[in-house]
A and B are shown apart, each in its own frame.
Chain A
Amino acid sequence: MQLINLTTQMVEYDGAHCLFPGIGAYQYKDANYKFEIVMSNAEQVDALRQQISTSAGDTDSLLGTTSDGVQLLLHAFAQLTVGLHQASSLAQLREAAEPFNELATQFLAKVDSGEVRLPYIDKGRESVMAEIEQRATKVADILANP
């Protein structure tokens, strides 16, 4: 990334985003310099990831949460599948869905109210689906033709 002093047109910093000491380091007392930060796409992604790591959790923490989520879904899905398979009436169908219903209802209410925000919605469902498809296909291609 670059830090450009717009007042003097000097490139004050040109290096890794992670080593950038912040604009404050380049402001001199009452000089009131104006600055611009220029980052490549890769650096912007890196900066976002650093922010996520700092505020939401590092990669291991995110993996842990992802793992919890998948296990929760798998468990609920297994319960639902078994319940549906054994159900022979509408009442039994409702009963099969009941274990997860309360949790699902609360979760949806939080999403609807904006209390909980899901990154995939901000990214856009089509964009996320395209990423899933492309990434899965590329991995499958490599595994099929190592």
Chain B
Amino acid sequence: MALEQDIADLVQASNNLTTVVDGKIQNIDQRVDDSQVLVQQWLDTRHVGFSLVDTLMDHSNGYITLAPRFGSIEEATSFEFNSADDYAPTGCYTDIANTVPATPNWFSEPVSTQFTGRLSVYANISIGSAPHPSPKPVTRIALLHNSIGAHHGWITTGSPTPNYRDPRLFMGKGRHENLEIKGQSYGVSNYDDLVSLAENETHNVSIGFSHVRLINLGPYPIHIKGFWMIYHGHQKES
């Protein structure tokens, strides 16, 4: 009896050990899975590989001057899209054409696997009329992108009658309805630097994207000298 009991205890102890080891293995597997997810999340948010740069304009195009739509910062700050006129105020807006597909994977195959779906956007914009004024001139702009094939290119309303309160804001970011920018202008193009419009952000630019519309709300005139959209990619196993 004693021997049988010893064997039974040994079997039970063996089962217990197996259960513990199994638990440990599952725990390790789970942690490995969690780590892979974390690594992927980290990778998706970082540019660690390459970029596809779309130069919508640069110095080779000269520059585009936009008059301010409003004469005071208060008027400009309170602007919201509300009518068709708001989308194309004469002399205060420009459309800049893209050259690179904003949607890498849509229909064509083989599909690309290296894009993170994140985008950075920089612009070279002169503001005002002094090289390094203090305080910096503050002006406000609105940024839209279009979508050919939608009911309305510049409006997101999904029916024939547009709601002018539904602008197709650039990259789907609410801040682009009325964005504050600061800068300088020394002979327009003597000093150049970058305004950061987006850095490593997800974007909602659709397959029908062909133009960015930039509207100068004011109160300063602005000169657009460059505009770049940088599609980030990483290098991983495809």
Contact = CB atoms under 8 A, between A and B. Distances in A.
A7 B87 CA distance: 15
A131 interface: no
A26 interface: yes
Interface size class of A (residues with CB under 8 A): 10 to 19
B162 interface: yes
A19 interface: yes
B84 A9 contact: yes
A100 interface: no
Contacts of A146: none
Contacts of A9: 84-85
Nearest to A8: B162
Main secondary structure of the interface of B (DSSP, over half): loop
B101 interface: no
Given A21-B210, A28-B160, A8 B88 contact: no
B150 A28 contact: yes
Given A21-B148, A26-B148, A28-B150, A11 B211 contact: no
B167 to A, nearest CB: 11
B153 A26 contact: yes
B8 interface: no
A33 B160 CA distance: 9
B97 interface: yes
A10 B211 contact: no
A103 B179 CA distance: 70
Contact of B87 (A11, A26, A31): A11
Contact of B153 (A10, A15, A31): A10
B63 to A, nearest CB: 16
Contacts of B162: 8, 10
Interface in B56-114: 84-85, 87-88, 93-95, 97
Interface string B144-164: 001011111111000011100
A13 B94 CA distance: 10
A132 B53 CA distance: 48
A28 B157 CA distance: 12
Given A9-B84, A14-B94, A25 B152 contact: no
A83 B15 CA distance: 123
Given A10-B153, A25-B148, A15 B95 contact: yes
Contacts of B150: 28
Interface of A: 7-16, 19, 21, 25-26, 28, 31, 33
6 contacts: A10-B88, A10-B152, A12-B153, A13-B211, A14-B95, A28-B151
Given A10-B84, A33-B160, 17 more contacts: A8-B84, A8-B152, A9-B85, A10-B87, A10-B152, A10-B154, A10-B155, A11-B84, A11-B87, A11-B88, A13-B95, A13-B211, A14-B88, A15-B211, A19-B97, A28-B150, A28-B160
